[in-house]
Chain A
């Protein structure tokens, strides 16, 4: 987890740097880089929210004692830096609609929630916040 913590710190710093305005084109311009980074985190956030919207995933979460409504709120409130820090895990979200996929998706969502400190299901996972 130390490696993950280090990675999340680095990603947070990188994401923070992305907000700085562009060089040489004026102080009040949105740089292409920050636009692209924003699109990345938007895509990550929407992938996570789509996963949470699935009925079978919500049932899976409830089975673990997680309130899906609360999870929705918490995910929606995530900052760009936090989404960027989780990006690798969000990429693990499998696509497709079978039962096996639902289990896999639920697992990944639970890992993400644990890392955010919203839940504490896996004792081996420590929150990144």
Chain B
């Protein structure tokens, strides 16, 4: 029995501490990828679609997003460094040191993905998550750098590292990254793909409000914008909803979101204009009629508000209690 040894707990403790302390941002000081096939136990995954597409159908493509600033990471602080690069590229000037407090977790010697996204929201930026090579290439082609979380070691003993992908080259099948202490690190696709395997892929596109990720789908994008509402970033939310509505004009959530954001910005007249168009576009949406009624009442248009509130109650649905509440509130007021 290997652990019958009486001092096993301190030894286990030391081993665990060593393992954990070495588990984040180990690229600091490591300028090259491990030479041996350290992930040879599993087949090196790569995206057949991406490779085939580039090899067969497209002429040589070289993408390089040159205006991404470079911040060399300090020990264990690849998260703040990567975040600072992406945020500053998106137009929000930051110092990695400022991000360390909110993003870096000393206990884990690293930055959690959730805290990265939360920090992005606090700066009024959109953080859109992607998880496939196709999306990665599409974003890069559209000129958007991507923060990636890589595992630079083994699946059973991971070494997590954040870097920013700023380009790729189909001639030598490589990706170009700002990583660790390297402003320009060129990595072969196979090596990169084995550090970004299916099941643990995480990529983040950081954009100014109003700019849509190239691979954005309506529902996923709107979910990131809603999160801006929760931290009272109404201006960023409004700009983002407006862009979403432009891209997906029939999307109900984008329209409701924009109106709610205008209300958050204390602009009920603007909200009324938006909702007037929304009920025309979505005549069967009880939510649209309800919110329209609410805003009309705010703006003193009592009769119209009453009609809209009754319409919402009539249409019914999920939020019937809210619609009745709106109707009661409006009925309770004396008409001017």
Contact = CB atoms under 8 A, between A and B. Distances in A.
Nearest to A80: B318
B46 to A, nearest CB: 24
Among B230, B287, B318, B326, max chain A CB count under 10 A is at B318
A29 B223 contact: no
Contacts of B148: none
Interface in B41-60: none
Q: Is the interface of B mostly helix, strand, loop or mixed?
A: helix
Nearest to A42: B318
A22 interface: yes
Nearest to A38: B318
Contacts of B222: 32, 36
Interface string B225-262: 11001101000000000000000000011001100100
A35 interface: yes
B310 interface: no
Contact of A19 (B219, B230, B291, B319): B319
B326 A28 contact: yes
B226 A25 contact: no
B294 A29 contact: yes
Range of interface residues on A (Cβ < 8 Å): 20 to 34
Contact of B226 (A24, A30, A36): A36
Interface string B259-296: 01001100000000000000000000001001100100
A40 B219 contact: yes
B229 A30 contact: no
Contact of B291 (A30, A38, A80): A30
Interface in B134-175: none
Interface residues of B, number: 27
A21 interface: yes
Nearest to A40: B219
Interface in B289-326: 290-291, 294, 298, 318-319, 322-323, 325-326
B102 interface: no
B223 to A, nearest CB: 6
A35 B232 CA distance: 18
Contact of A36 (B253, B291, B318): B253
B256 A32 contact: yes
B17 interface: no
Contacts of A39: 219, 252-253
Contacts of A26: 263, 294, 298
B329 interface: yes
Contacts of B225: 32
B253 A30 contact: no
Most buried by B among A19, A33, A35: A35
Contact of B256 (A19, A24, A30, A40): A30
Contacts of B223: 36
Given A35-B256, A80-B318, A30 B290 contact: yes
Interface string A1-30: 000000000000000000101101111111
Interface of B: 219, 222-223, 225-226, 229-230, 232, 252-253, 256-257, 260, 263-264, 287, 290-291, 294, 298, 318-319, 322-323, 325-326, 329
9 contacts: A28-B294, A28-B323, A28-B326, A29-B294, A30-B256, A32-B229, A35-B252, A38-B318, A39-B252
9 closest A-B pairs by CB: A28-B326, A32-B257, A30-B287, A25-B263, A28-B325, A33-B226, A35-B253, A32-B226, A36-B253
Interface of A: 19, 21-22, 24-36, 38-40, 80
